[in-house]
Amino acid sequence: MPGVHDFTAKSLAGADVPLKQFAGKVLLIVNTASKCGFTPQYRGLETLHRELSPRGFAVLGFPCNQFGGQEPGDANQIEQFCASQYDVSFPMFAKVDVNGAGAHPLYKYLKGEKSGLLGSSIKWNFTKFLVDRAGKVVARFAPTATPEGLKPDIEALL
């Protein structure tokens, strides 16, 4: 049965990143944006990443411009914004589509594993998928779910 570790994604620098390199870690996969009302969640995501990474946890950020054009920048602009505004140290990937025919295969898989309240489509930026150490999607959280509020769910998998 396929899992998250079977996919590859491009880094912000354009390099292929096999997600199997995250095998054995608990992951929180998030579609992000720099000009969204939820953008301040970068702070909480970074806090989770720094606090829990020594125990085998990682946040993976996937910028997306499908919701209100809230991620208009190129890879360099995204990287600069994340570094200067939120000191992001977790892996950030190249901008992707999360819905529609052009959706990244990882997001097609994630949505197929855990539907949201209104179906499988992602409704907005900062939708979060929690993945266990084996690469299985165990939960999906709405954009309104704060990173801090997810800590007990994450710790239960660590």
Sign of CA dihedral 138, 57, 75, 80: positive
State which H helix or E strand residue 27 sits in: strand 26-32
Range of the domain at 68: 4-150
Residue 76 lies in a domain: yes
pTM for the model: 0.96
Interval 22-32: pLDDT, tens: 999 999 999 99
Say if residue 87 is exposed, middle or buried (CB neighbours under 10 Å; 0-12, 13-18, 19+): exposed
100 three-state secondary structure = coil
Query: Please, which residues have CB within 8 angstroms of residue 93's CB and are 6 or more apart in sequence?
Result: 9, 10, 11, 12, 17, 60, 61, 62, 63
CATH number where 143 lies: 3.40.30.10
Confidence of residue 120 (pLDDT cuts 50, 70, 90): confident
Residue 44 lies in a domain: yes
pLDDT digits (tens, 9 = 90+) for 21-73: 999 999 999 999 999 999 999 999 999 999 999 999 999 999 999 999 999 99
The catalytic residue positions are 36
67 within some domain? yes
Total of domains in the chain: 1
What letter represents residue 12's amino acid? L
In a domain, 157, yes or no: no
Rounded Cα gap, residues 102 and 66, in angstroms: 11
* Average pLDDT along the chain: 95
In the chain, the percentage of residues whose pLDDT exceeds 70 is 98
- 86 assigned to some structural domain: yes
Specify if 102 maps to a domain.
Answer: yes
**pLDDT over threshold 70, residue 118:** no
User: 150 near 59, Cβ under 8 Å?
Assistant: no
Beta-strand ranges (E) seen in 48-144 are 57-63, 128-131, 137-141
Does 158 fall in a domain?
no
